[in-house]
Amino acid sequence: MFKCIRHYYGIVILLPLIAGCTPFFNQPINEQRAEIGAETPARKSLVSLPEPKEKIVAAVYKFRDQTGQYKPSDTGANWSTAVTQGTTSILLKAIEESGWFIPIEREGLSNLLNERKIIRSSRANYAGQNESSQLLPPLLFAGLVLEGGVISYDANVLTGGAGLKYFGAGASGQYRQDRVTVYLRAISTSNGRILKTVYTSKMILSQKLDASIFRYVKFKRLLEAEVGFTYNEPSEMAVKEAIEKAVESLIIEGVIEGLWDLKNPEDVNSDIVTKYVEGKEDNEGSDFFDQLLTPRRRKFGLGFNGGSWLYMGDYKHSEMEAMGGVSLLYDTQSALQFALNFSRGDLATTKYFQKTFNSLDVTAKYRLLPYKNWTPYIEGGFGVFSEHEKSIYTIDISNSIHTQALYGAGVEFLFNDRIGLNFSILNHYIFNDNIDGLKQGNFNDYFWEGKIGLNFYFDKIWDTSKKKKNRKEKIRKKADPQPITAE
């Protein structure tokens, strides 16, 4: 009993230690001092943009929250807004840090004009200055007006979780994703023309992890412990990142379409512009959840695999034996993939039976998530199965050929567009009861196959390099050497 109690005490001690290893777990125990605000990943690209030929004077009157969305709450009404109301300030900071614009004050224009009146009045009344000396420098006028706003905040776009509890001890996790969307447009003040409109979005992640134990360790002795944490990505940081990405998009789109000039025209093919165009092309083939809807594999491939066979026949005491194989793959570039498979391995029991067999079959795979980096799939097909006999005078003699059906499931992980890691479990059902030389019982012989392998897909290196070359040529031709200036 004391050993059991010590065991549970050890669990109680280990639970917070395990949770403490989680990178998100940072329980505050002291008050924190004020610090410089955190930056987003989008800012790095924004401040790395190529230099402009001349900075553009830009005005922002009001960049508002247009969603009318309140914070989601599980406990009742919540009258706090889901989106920060300071989006104009965020946009002004973003266009200033980009190095492409000279932002001028327009949101508080009435305050600015009142202050200039006070200056003129003070000079006239107390400084004894004449009317000509009371003139202030003129206000800057904008060549561009930036408009738009946060147009949607979608709560609970994706929710889920998982948990496991056994004998009063367990752990669980839950997550939720929200989505914020930003539109930004540039308007020429000379003629009111909308030069460019861009649109960006950002997912907001919230997650909760916890572990607990609830056990009676002895009579009238109850052990109860729990540990956990909740992580909510700040919505203000998500809005900030979406706005910064929108400013970056506006600048690069304007450069490509010749709306404004670069200081160095060759920068139109810089890495940051090319990377943006690649991302835009990928985005055009993506769905709402950033799931690519473009083919992830080439049409042809070659697979190598190894694993084990487990005989299930008329003899008892089956043993797992090694097998290996090779596959020729044909991909429809959607959910289906066809394969011609050849494999060789042993079927054996502890006593009485052990033989080497060859398997040749044609299978079809149906992928459940064909456009993700990983996908589970189901597989089925038909083929032939024969005994492989070795002797001094012969290398491969088929004494008998059996027909078979295959079915099973697996999962494939793509490292990149050319290499995939494959795990699968298949059942080979033989259409007779004679592969082990013994006929008895009401069922035919069959065996299980478990394997791991690598799939290599062809012709991607040449296609990628050609695609990049064509993309750069397209950008170069689209950029107009005589840009449309916003005066």
pTM (two decimals): 0.67
Task: Classify residue 220 by its DSSP letter.
Answer: T
Structural domain includes residue 392: yes
Who contacts 20 (Cβ-Cβ below 8 Å, separation ≥6)?
Answer: none
Q: Report the C-alpha gap between 486 and 258 in whole angstroms.
A: 12
Q: Report the C-alpha gap between 19 and 452 in whole angstroms.
A: 33
Q: Report the C-alpha gap between 20 and 209 in whole angstroms.
A: 12
Compute, in degrees rounded to 10, the torsion defined by CA atoms 119, 122, 125, 128.
Answer: -80
Any idea what the CATH number is for the domain that residue 369 is in? 2.40.160.20
Structural domain includes residue 421: yes
DSSP SS3 for 330: strand
Count the domains in the chain: 1
DSSP SS3 for 296: coil
Q: pLDDT tens digits, the chain, 487 residues: what are they?
A: 434 444 444 444 444 444 444 444 566 667 778 888 888 888 888 888 899 989 999 999 989 888 888 777 766 667 778 888 889 999 999 999 999 999 999 988 889 999 888 888 887 777 665 555 567 888 888 889 999 999 988 888 888 888 888 888 899 999 888 899 999 999 999 899 999 999 999 988 889 999 999 888 888 888 889 888 888 888 889 999 999 999 999 999 998 888 888 888 888 888 888 888 888 877 776 666 666 666 778 889 999 999 999 988 878 888 889 999 999 999 888 889 999 999 999 888 888 888 889 999 999 999 988 888 888 999 999 999 888 765 434 444 445 788 999 999 999 999 887 899 999 999 999 888 878 777 776 778 889 999 999 999 987 444 445 555 555 555 555 555 444 443 3
Structural domain includes residue 166: no
Structural domain includes residue 280: no
Domain enclosing residue 424, as ranges: 300-458
Structural domain includes residue 339: yes
Structural domain includes residue 100: no
DSSP SS3 for 379: strand
Structural domain includes residue 168: no
The answer to whether the beta carbons of residues 445 and 312 sit under 8 Å apart is yes
Closest by CA position to 96, among listed 267, 256, 244:
244
Structural domain includes residue 116: no
Q: Report the C-alpha gap between 131 and 138 in whole angstroms.
A: 16
Q: Which residue has the tokens 């697996």?
A: 410
> What are the start-end ranges of the H helices in 181-264?
235-256
Q: Report the C-alpha gap between 277 and 476 in whole angstroms.
A: 12
Sign of the dihedral defined by the CA atoms of residues 313, 318, 323, 329, in that order: positive
Q: Which residue has the tokens 């065996």?
A: 447
Closest by CA position to 142, among listed 196, 188, 95, 93:
188
Phi, psi of 344 (to 5 degrees): -140, 140
The answer to whether the beta carbons of residues 285 and 294 sit under 8 Å apart is yes
Residues in the chain: 487
